[in-house]
Structure 1
Amino acid sequence: SDPRHLRVTPRGNARMLAVQLIAFLVPFSSLAFVALQPNPPKWPESVKVFSPTNSTAAIEDAVNSAFKTNGGQKDHGQFSTYRYAFLFKPGSYEAQVPVGYYTQVLGLGSSPNDVKFTSEKGVYCEEGDYTFTVGALNTFWRAAENFHTSANYNWFGGYEGMLWAASQASPLRRIMVDEKLVLYQYYDDGSHPGAAGYSSGGFIADVKVNGSVSFGSQQQFFTRSCEFGAGDQAVWNTVHVGSSGVPKSHCGRTKTIPGSPMISIDSVPIVREKPFISVDSSGKYTLNVPEVRINSTGTSWASGSEKLDTRDFSKIYVTKPSDTADTINQMLFMGLDVVVSPGIYNLTDSLKVQKEDQVILGLGMATLVSSTGKPCIEVSDVDGVTIAGLMLGAGTVKSPSLLKWGTGNFKGDRANPGFIHDVFVRVGGTNDVNVNEVSTELMIDLQNGNIIGDNLWLWRADHDQSGQVYGGANPCSTGLNVDGDDVIMYGLFVEHTLKNLVTWNGERGR
């Protein structure tokens, strides 16, 4: 019979047989009809989608329930197993949205201006501990993207606007801020009046702030492709690439130049912004992949001339937290892009990316864990792949790496490089080293050339559920290994590995 009439059966070996028969009998391009996905997608419970027709009370009930689990003082929820993504359709919202651990807030507009938060606090993140020596030092693993905020709450001392008092692995992207953006927090507990809570560095990209940006107690910070009304600097060092409204570069404190070292580079050599999701008035979803920009400055969207590769969600597979590596790999093999829903995925095999321009995009700090000693993700020798928005975790069986990119025999394409956006690797933390250890030799291993990293935090945990981690527990030798040429890193944070933080063997790296 006509192979186009073969049907993928829902269960067992018959399903695999049908897929294999189709793959054998028809060209790959004809497989699209087999894998058509629902649009709008069937989101799991870990994803909540809101529209302006939802009441403010209903929205706040949902976000406050998540925050009760994954937020609040004394770093509550730091090693929680719950993951959340809150998606807001175009329109205006009066809700106050606190963002806790493993939580992501995303607007679903084509432009950040399509989704606007008009409440006094808007979308915000307070430091996880009001004790000033802790402050935001452990305020990790959360994100906010693609919206407009007119927040004007006075957090302290006239600092009015959007508060994002967080540290590593807590990026802001593609946001329009009307007032100030405040990246740290004062909280007077009476014992140390006027003491700002400690904070240990972060990342902002593609953000426009009409007011000033205050880095305050941030130990270090990285911005890229931003437009600020004005900006100061962090405590120790700050790096700006392609951002405006920031101080000029200087090498440290002198009589004529106060403040800590700061680097400001005029333009971004090459970048493609992180893919994002939008929805139209008919309820159809699109995955938007921005174009590559060369020697760019400022945001990608504010001028209104942004160019996007738009991909209909009928060709996007949205995972369920119960999915296995085999299930996801079937979809990748058929050429679909994959959106990884919030959850923890204990993988018995690597996710294998073998198609040019393929995208894996995680939501809500979706977490992939190596459970059999294999990398969580392996990328083949192909151009234009994007891996974004994921946490990768080491397992109890030692792995060679948690993300392996290429064989070492592929130069890549400068016009269509591979991208890694907001990928956070963790060795330890969720385990108790007194009970069991986790390990990996490397966290990320880049064998191929022309790969660009854009906000990576590679962390061998210095504390876990039982307290501080000492000695060589949860061993990991090296955070990042680069063997390919022409690799660029924007915002690379690596901590606590036992040998080298980074080993860079490739040529022309930046």
Structure 2
Amino acid sequence: MYSGIADKTLFTLFGAGLTALFLAGCQADAHKVQASAPDFGENVFVLDPQMPAEEVQTRLDALFKQQESNQFGPERYAVLFKPGVYHNKIKLGFYTQLMGLGRYPDDVMLQGGIEVKATWHEEDATQNFWRSVENLSVTPDNGTMQWAVSQASPLRRLHVRGNMLLDDNGGWSSGGFIADSLIDQQVNSGTQQQWLTRNSNIGSWTNANWNMVFVGVKHAPDASHWPNPPYTDVPQTPIVREKPFLTVTAAGEYQVYVPPLRQQTQGISWQDAHLNGTTIPLSRFYIAKAATDNADSLNAALAKGLHLLLTPGIYPLDKALNISHANTVVLGLGIATLLPTHGNPAMQVQDVDGVILGGLLFDAGEKNSEVLLQVGQSKTATSHAQNPISLHDVFFRVGGASVGNATHSVIINSNHVIGDNLWVWRGDHGNGIGWSTNKTKHGIVVNGDDVTMYGLFVEHFHDYQTVWNGENGAVYFYQSEAPYDVPNQASWMNGSSNGFASYKVADHVTQHRAIGMGVYCFFNDNPEVKLSSAIEAPLGEHIQFERMTSVSLGGTGEITHVLNTSGDAAKPGSEVSRLLKP
């Protein structure tokens, strides 16, 4: 479990030890960096291009060695690169964020590259979660950046000066996300099962398996022959705001840049010489540290109208963080993790304009929480169309690290919310896993109107995994797996229907759009279990579903229909079923 003094002490000891190792041998240059940097705590490493490359490489290698297979450990780290050129090749493990501090990706040039493989897991990358890279230019030493990952491993604001490869030697990888990035040459998805590329420029794309979706992408592959290959192309992104990011000026002043809301866009946001967003000085942020902060100190800062910068760590919370001021930014570094300890929500966002959450992991505690994140107190008619709430790289976990219980992971009551890469996960492996152990109902419930999601991953919940009650919702790329651990059919019935659809649009809804959907099953506790339908929705002129796929993974279980009673069964001997439209 993460709660308690013993775990916090262990975390502090690990962090202090690795920090000391990282800085050893670099003292002549490190003091220059630390003198101008805010106190981000011992788990944030600020690098300067004047540091000796050999020393930096040694410390980065030590960080990777600790984090390579540390899937459920308490350690969290962020590595920040001041503008300049670095001659290093970085292997990236769990709970580690790499971030350039320039205003543009090309302000930080990493000559050597970034690599994620799955050697620790026999080249199977389906468990390569919880890491991220943003705002860098990467020149791979062999011409190809290898990024073999699955969920919760986003890439943002990258310039890859070469190719990209999304698997490891033919081993499976399962779900990824890249946004606002320029890849000069070819992206090879290999055995990657599904992927969302949003607002990017790519040289070309090769390979596909089940569900490859491109939204607002220049040079996206030809999608006219779906499902051979299964490419989905939405030429323009209807509405989006890019994730805020930390920068440093030439004078050493730290700021957070908040990109503007954009509509009907294609390609990267940073091609122009002048960026039109908002710059917030770091003095307007409360810099939080997991070792010393709690719900009271964080709420006191929020009540004063401060933004939050959550440095890497696990934050036990005995009450919800309450965000009541419009335009509040809560930005996590190093997969900062919020852990409710008393059955409380971890965070409640009031129904106000412009709140932005980014880079956070909500981890359920052992005592059941009714909800981990609630956006809006209740459904209202309030419009946020001109300045919506947005969620970027926000992840949820129920079980896996330890026993966790949450009836709902996230409930969205506010209107016009934008979701930009959400993974909502009831753990299927790790600690505290079992049908009656990590208990849930729904993953996400959307009550608000005009809510838009780019990259919605929801997996393994007991009931409907996604429930959509609001009008005019839109989802671009959906990935879901039914619960693996259904003990028998009798214990998983929705009235007379076998199981609960992954994606449920309420019967009263009259307008909805979902495109590029994949729902899978793997009933490994009982292969005789069946799911009647992957998706349930009312039929109507303005209910639009396009390019849907269901898969029986390894032929372990059956999804009888794709949408309502349409679509063939995905089952042993016929594992993949496709449906273009209802």
Please name the residue that 1:245 is paired with: 219
Q: Deviations over 1:330-369 (max 9, x none)?
A: 1111111111000001111111111111000000011101
1:328 pairs, out of 261, 283, 298, with 298
1:114 aligns with 2:80: no
1:455 aligns with 2:425: no
Q: Deviations over 1:113-163 (max 9, x none)?
A: 1000112xx12211254635xx1010000000001011132xxxxxx3211
Measured in 2, the distance between the counterparts of 1:214 and 1:471 equals: 37
Matched-pair identity in %: 39
| Structure 2 residue matching 1:441: 3-state secondary structure | strand
- The structure with higher relative contact order (CA 8 Å, sep 6+) is 1
| Structure 1 residue matching 2:473: 3-state secondary structure | coil
Q: What are the within-5 Å matches in structure 2 for residues 8-47 of structure 1?
A: 40-47=37-44
Give the letter aligned to residue 107 of structure 2. D
Measured in 1, the distance between the counterparts of 2:151 and 2:120 equals: 15
Q: Deviations over 1:256-293 (max 9, x none)?
A: xx32x221001011111000010011111010000110
Please name the residue that 1:164 is paired with: 147
2:265 pairs, out of 292, 296, 310, with 296
Give the letter aligned to residue 268 of structure 1. T
2:461 pairs, out of 473, 497, 506, with 497
2:255 pairs, out of 282, 286, 305, with 286
Specify which structure has the higher proportion of strand: 2
Q: What are the within-5 Å matches in structure 2 for residues 42-191 of structure 1?
A: 42-71=39-68, 76-119=69-112, 122-129=113-120, 131-132=122-123, 135-153=124-142, 160-186=143-169
Please name the residue that 1:423 is paired with: 394
Q: What are the within-5 Å matches in structure 2 for residues 343-422 of structure 1?
A: 343-407=313-377, 408-422=379-393
Give the letter aligned to residue 425 of structure 1. F
Matched-pair contact (CA < 8 Å) for 1:233–1:262 = no
Matched-pair contact (CA < 8 Å) for 2:376–2:413 = yes
| Structure 1 residue matching 2:467: 3-state secondary structure | strand
| Structure 2 residue matching 1:288: 3-state secondary structure | strand
Measured in 1, the distance between the counterparts of 2:387 and 2:340 equals: 29
Matched-pair contact (CA < 8 Å) for 1:428–1:438 = yes
What is the Cα deviation at residue 414 of structure 1? 1.1
Measured in 2, the distance between the counterparts of 1:498 and 1:128 equals: 32
Matched-pair contact (CA < 8 Å) for 2:47–2:80 = yes
Matched-pair contact (CA < 8 Å) for 2:326–2:352 = yes
What is the Cα deviation at residue 233 of structure 1? 4.2
1:202 aligns with 2:161: no
Give the letter aligned to residue 166 of structure 2. L
What is the Cα deviation at residue 58 of structure 1? 2.4
Matched-pair contact (CA < 8 Å) for 2:226–2:232 = no
Measured in 2, the distance between the counterparts of 1:471 and 1:251 equals: 40
Give the letter aligned to residue 427 of structure 2. A
Please name the residue that 1:263 is paired with: 232
Measured in 2, the distance between the counterparts of 1:262 and 1:291 equals: 29
Please name the residue that 2:447 is paired with: 483
Change (3 A) 1:243 1:472: farther
Q: What are the within-5 Å matches in structure 2 for residues 465-476 of structure 1?
A: 465=431, 469-476=433-440
Give the letter aligned to residue 463 of structure 1. H
Measured in 1, the distance between the counterparts of 2:129 and 2:467 equals: 25
Give the letter aligned to residue 312 of structure 1. P
| Structure 2 residue matching 1:306: 3-state secondary structure | coil
Matched-pair contact (CA < 8 Å) for 1:242–1:265 = yes
1:315 aligns with 2:279: no
Matched-pair contact (CA < 8 Å) for 1:152–1:179 = no
Change (3 A) 1:391 1:210: same
Change (3 A) 1:128 1:360: farther
Q: Deviations over 1:2-46 (max 9, x none)?
A: xxxxxxxxxxxxxxxxxxxxxxxxxxxxxxxxxxxx984211001
CA RMSD of aligned residues (A): 1.5
Give the letter aligned to residue 174 of structure 1. R
Change (3 A) 1:128 1:384: farther
Q: Which moved more, 1:406-415 or 1:341-350?
A: 406-415
Give the letter aligned to residue 131 of structure 1. E
What is the Cα deviation at residue 303 of structure 1? 3.0
Give the letter aligned to residue 489 of structure 1. M
Measured in 2, the distance between the counterparts of 1:413 and 1:39 equals: 38
Measured in 1, the distance between the counterparts of 2:460 and 2:225 equals: 26
1:508 aligns with 2:478: no
Q: Deviations over 1:166-197 (max 9, x none)?
A: 110000000001100111121xxxxxxxxx01
Give the letter aligned to residue 420 of structure 1. L
Change (3 A) 1:457 1:438: same
Q: Deviations over 1:455-482 (max 9, x none)?
A: 000000001147xx34332011111100
Measured in 2, the distance between the counterparts of 1:366 and 1:146 equals: 19
Matched-pair contact (CA < 8 Å) for 1:129–1:136 = no
What is the Cα deviation at residue 81 of structure 1? 0.8
Give the letter aligned to residue 109 of structure 2. K
Measured in 1, the distance between the counterparts of 2:391 and 2:355 equals: 9
Measured in 2, the distance between the counterparts of 1:396 and 1:501 equals: 20
Measured in 2, the distance between the counterparts of 1:423 and 1:242 equals: 21
What is the Cα deviation at residue 387 of structure 1? 0.7
Give the letter aligned to residue 422 of structure 2. L
Measured in 2, the distance between the counterparts of 1:198 and 1:492 equals: 20
Give the letter aligned to residue 453 of structure 1. G
Q: Which moved more, 1:306-315 or 1:447-456?
A: 306-315
What is the Cα deviation at residue 321 of structure 1? 1.3
Matched-pair contact (CA < 8 Å) for 2:399–2:431 = no
Give the letter aligned to residue 371 of structure 2. S
Give the letter aligned to residue 157 of structure 2. R
Q: Deviations over 1:400-451 (max 9, x none)?
A: 11100112225332111010000110000011xxxxx321110110011010
What is the Cα deviation at residue 65 of structure 1? 2.0
Size of the alignment, in residue pairs? 438
Give the letter aligned to residue 287 of structure 1. V
Measured in 1, the distance between the counterparts of 2:36 and 2:109 equals: 24
Q: Deviations over 1:46-78 (max 9, x none)?
A: 10000111111222232222212111xxxx201
1:306 aligns with 2:280: no
Task: Please give the TM-score of this superposition, normalised by the length of structure 1.
Answer: 0.84
